Structure 1
Amino acid sequence: MFLTRSEYDRGVNTFSPEGRLFQVEYALEAIKLGSATVGIATKEGVVLGVEKRVQSKLLESSSIEKIMEVDQHLGAAMSGLTADARTMIEHARVTSQNHAFTYDEEIKVESVTQAVCDLALRFGESTAGDEAMMSRPFGVALLIAGIDEKGPQLYHADPSGTFVRYDAKAIGSGSEGAQTELQDKYSKDMTLKQAELLCLRVLKQVMEEKLDQNNVQLATVTPRTAKDGRASGQFGIMNEAELQALIADM
């Protein structure tokens, strides 16, 4: 019995004759509707920047969290469904703390990204006794930034469970134009301050609203030495005063 196109569309774990999983492709399309998100890695650290869509004057902009801390040395920025992102980031936090408790060391940036992508693949139809599975793919992509012995790193993780390391990456609304701008302006020798300013300029280019300290969120991961003497990072989210000063320098 042959399935129609609509039946392939509905089945989250059924390949079409062309070898496509339509529900995963639709999840990837959902990310293009999300907030513009930019990540830039330099020798001095990593910068994450996200557009905050303030839909109403009555909305408290500080309550919109698009960048979250995973551990002291790494954080993540999201584009897509925020509720899905919270699930993924909570999984990353638990994985990181379990690693620290078991091995008395900070988890590698690539390892925590791998754990998040493993979770992204847990969708389909579960049976009794199986590990709980989700009914659909996640509708969110993450930019995961951190520092370990390999230096500053930036990873892109998407709903297909794929993760790739980038020097600079843009996701979300207007990501194609933003990525082109990053390719033109990015340099491996740029300072962290230059990366912060480039991040804001790229966001300004793709945002519909005028950029100010209330509708963007910026975070950095800068180098530090862990308690065991290994190279690590310090994650921090900029406050409104720091953002205002940075915007004035543009």
Structure 2
Amino acid sequence: MTSRPIRTCRSRATMCLLEKCVLLACVRGSHVRGAHRELCSPAAADPKSTLKKRRSPPPVFASLSLSHRILEMFLTRTEYYRGVNTFSPEGRLFQVEYAIEAIKLGSTAIGLRTNEGVVLAVEKRVTSPLLEPSSVEKIMEIDEHIGCAMSGLIADARTLVEYARNHRFSYGEPMTVESTTQALCDLALRFGEGDEESMSQPFGVSLLIAGHDENGPSLYYTDPSGTFWQCSAKAIGSGSEGADSSLQEQYNKDLTLQEAETIALSISKQVMEEKVTPNNLDIARVAPTYHLYTPTEVEAVIARL
């Protein structure tokens, strides 16, 4: 059984350090101002009066209140942008919105549901000729009847996938596709500040979850806000807008599995910046079990275009 990593929350430590710096600056400023007043006052000529003044405690309490006021002014301006649990006056969680925007920079992933099963196709960005293409995983198996394609931060996706796999390891029984999706979205909402069991920020990844259970084939889409939808066809990632438009034109519920493969590949070819090859594209199907295509099988699908 795998354990999910716990992210350290650095916001509390940052705020403590900021408060100490502001307090130190204020205390030092109070000492300088106090010394200046002592030297410039008429009583400075009297040694006894000066000695009495120097023995009096510095105005630390005034500095404390001033530091809190400065800190409050700083927080009021930026807490909506940095905090993961603080709503802005407009009712927005900016950290969740930033995570959703990060998905638009990821690889394009496409999913289509048919009566026979579900097809997934994902672009693989091989950034260097020294990089082994097989090491770039954009489609992962959750169970023998469930697979998922991802766009965004792969490390976050691995955390979600490992969490979903734990049910089979713990109970020895399969989960339905909807229950698996619900469990992942519940985990995606466990972010906060000051709690060691919570994530320090939202997951920066979006998933297309394909599965086949007693209810038949199904396709679900999740985002960093913990929301999920059931879809007939969906695209995520950097080319999602153009891919979704093409899916609306080409998709119909009577598609065969082979036709869905061809549509997914042709749309991927339209939105990808490079030529489609088995090295930069992953294809998988769940019909009714999960199967990731080999490079030879991907080459055969490309040949049908």
1:234 aligns with 2:289: yes
Partner of 1:110: 178
1:183 aligns with 2:238: no
Q: 1: distance between equivalents of 2:304 and 2:204?
A: 35
- % identical equivalent positions: 62
Asked which structure has the greater RCO (Cα within 8 Å, sep 6+), the reply is 1
Out of 169, 187, 194, which is 1:119 matched to?
A: 187
Contact 2:118 / 2:257 at 8 angstroms: preserved in 1?
Answer: yes
Deviation at 1:119, TM superposition (A): 0.5
1:167 aligns with 2:239: no
Contact 2:148 / 2:207 at 8 angstroms: preserved in 1?
Answer: yes
Residues 125/57 of structure 1: CA separation in 2 closer, same or farther (3 Å cut): same
1:152 aligns with 2:235: no
Deviation at 1:56, TM superposition (A): 0.9
- Residues 203-218 of structure 1 mapped to structure 2, 5 A cutoff: 203-218=268-283
1:248 aligns with 2:248: no
Q: 2: distance between equivalents of 1:179 and 1:245?
A: 25
Q: 1: distance between equivalents of 2:216 and 2:294?
A: 25
Q: 2: distance between equivalents of 1:16 and 1:28?
A: 17
Write the deviation string for residues 188-217 of structure 1: whole angstroms up to 9, x where unpaired: 000000000100011111101111111000
Q: 2: distance between equivalents of 1:182 and 1:191?
A: 15
Residues 52/202 of structure 1: CA separation in 2 closer, same or farther (3 Å cut): same
Q: 2: distance between equivalents of 1:212 and 1:5?
A: 49
Q: 2: distance between equivalents of 1:6 and 1:96?
A: 43
Give the match's secondary structure for 1:176.
helix
Decide which structure has the larger Cα Rg and report it.
Answer: 2
Q: 2: distance between equivalents of 1:98 and 1:49?
A: 30
Partner of 1:76: 148
1:44 aligns with 2:112: no
Deviation at 1:174, TM superposition (A): 1.2
Structure 2 unmatched ranges of 5 or more? 1-71
Q: 1: distance between equivalents of 2:122 and 2:217?
A: 19
| Length-normalised TM-score, structure 2 | 0.74
Aligned-residue RMSD, C-alpha: 1.3
Partner of 1:229: none
Write the deviation string for residues 151-191 of structure 1: whole angstroms up to 9, x where unpaired: 10000011100010000000001101100000100010000
Q: 2: distance between equivalents of 1:77 and 1:29?
A: 18
Aligned residues: 233
Q: 1: distance between equivalents of 2:168 and 2:256?
A: 29
Structure 2 residue identity aligned to 1:167:
S
Structure 2 residue identity aligned to 1:121:
L
Structure 1 unmatched ranges of 5 or more? 223-232
